Amino acid sequence: MIEYRKHEQHGDNVGKAIRHTTVYYLKRLVFGGYLITALLLLLQIGLLTAVLFWLNNYANLYYEGSFLLGIICTVFIMNGESNPAYKTSWIIIIMAFPVAGTLIYLYMKYNFGTLATKKVAVDIGKETRRFAQTDENVKTDVRKEHSDLEKLAYYLGKKGSAATYENSSMEYFPLGDDAMEPILEALESAEKFIFIEFFMVEEGVFFNRILEVLERKAKEGVEIRFMYDGFGCAALLPRNYTEVLKAKGIQARCFSKIYPFLSTHYNNRDHRKIIVVDGKCAFTGGINLCDEYINAIEKYGHWKDNVVMVKGEAVKGFTLLFMQTWNSVAYKHGIDYESYLTTYPVEESGYVIPYGDGPYQVESVAENVYLDILANATDYVYIMTPYLILDHEMENALAHAAKSGIDVRIILPHIPDKKIAFYIARTYYPKLLAAGVKIYEYTPGFIHSKTFLCDDKIATVGTINLDFRSLYLHYECGCVFYKKDGIKDIRQDFEETFTKSIAVNRDYYELIPLWQRAAGRLFRIFGPIL
């Protein structure tokens, strides 16, 4: 019998942190202009709701029309190309609320608020594709010597506009704490340019140290471009923070800035984490520029995250990813890319493939990377992820790999940051455990790493969670490493993290309160659209 742990010892600290952050965020809301924006958005929602209630005055026509509308929309959804889980969620909503559900579905489906954004993003993708071509010699070497990488490399090049690079190195940092000083050292070394792109940024120990370096480097003549997500930073930064950065000599842009009108563009967030310095080195991983990511403050116990530093030719891939998003925010293309794409080769064996994913790509590139790793494993696949909201394909792929004799292990948090997502994740435990998947929960706190490791020879580290938002709605990035020296460090991190985690079994699952399991099952229905 495994004791169900609630970690009450963290209660006081977590409570203090929550109270502190709540006051801080309220101040931001009131004085940062977001309160007015929120009120205007609520007003629009209220008006739409009032219209729907007004339709009740025409009861007979309403119900007959609703029924017909629900049937038509359901047929339309069933014949679409969306993910089956996504279809099911919308069908339930539409059958329960035919008129409102249909209108919301059509509004979300056709992204009326993102038509211009989509066009620019597609145009920029086409424009930069010529810079992301794999060298012919690399293609030949991969085809002749590394057949287990060939298909994935070809797919990423064809559908993800992601080149395969050699002459590149990687250094893996198992914690955000470990990565802070190397990041600062890299920024200090900048002579030409610094590109930074993050989902969440908050003033504190971590970001303030970075900002200090950026401000100094700007005065030295280094070109600095800084981008953050408007939704992710809504309660963390003042509304006009781009102007604050510009006053310090830093070019700044806010992705998907929040405006006081309803738009589907809020649904597509820039979840990427990228730092590029001079084209010589790049960083990516799970961390954001907030203090909990380096454990300077405690929110949900110990924060387990990771970062990877890339040097050499592969840095070019991250430079392109940054510039694509940067230019799309300004609705610009035709920019001079070449001056930023100088490479600095590093002699090291193996290959590196930086890749991006986004809502306007036809393919779910990130998910297909994960599926490819699972399909081609011969010994083991180890996974770290903060969330587990799976579609049918991913759930079956995990189960099938385990049933085929592959040692599949997943590490999840024991202390969640989002309880609903946590409850949903646990609903997958019975099926996965029955298939032979080994599940662990990181007992010291919250695990935020997004990492796959397979057979000691291939790994991917990045920003992509195992949930619908990351796989279908957000702008994301990751990096595939093949037969690189640093893969052994990822393996060591997994082995150490296993020892700090509790192994989940059926008895453990049965000890989870019934109401939590029931809530998870209920919310799982709507998981694809949350």
State pLDDT tens for residues 371-413. Answer: 999 999 999 999 999 999 999 999 999 999 999 999 999 999 9
Write the single-letter amino acid at 113: G
Which of 106-115, 280-289, 315-324 is least confident? 106-115
Alpha-carbon torsion angle 245, 178, 410, 455, nearest 10? 110
For 42-83, what is each residue's pLDDT tens digit?
A: 776 677 667 666 655 555 665 666 677 777 777 777 777 777
- Highest mean pLDDT of the ranges 73-77, 154-158, 332-336: 154-158
In which residue are the tokens 């009740």 written?
56
60 half-sphere exposure, CB direction, 13 A CA radius: 0
- Per DSSP, what are the bridge partners of residue 275? 196, 283
Dihedral pair phi/psi, residue 233, rounded to 5°: -105, 10
Nearest to 456, CA basis, from 478, 496, 485: 485
Tokens standing for 33? 């202009």
Q: Which residues have CB under 8 Å from 81's CB, separation 6+?
A: none
Residue 101 pLDDT class (50, 70, 90 cuts): confident
* Residue length of the chain: 530
Identify the pLDDT of residue 15.
47
Return phi, psi of residue 497, to 5°.
-70, -35
| Domains annotated on the chain, with CATH | 10-110 (no CATH), 115-146+161-350 (3.30.870.10), 365-529 (3.30.870.10)
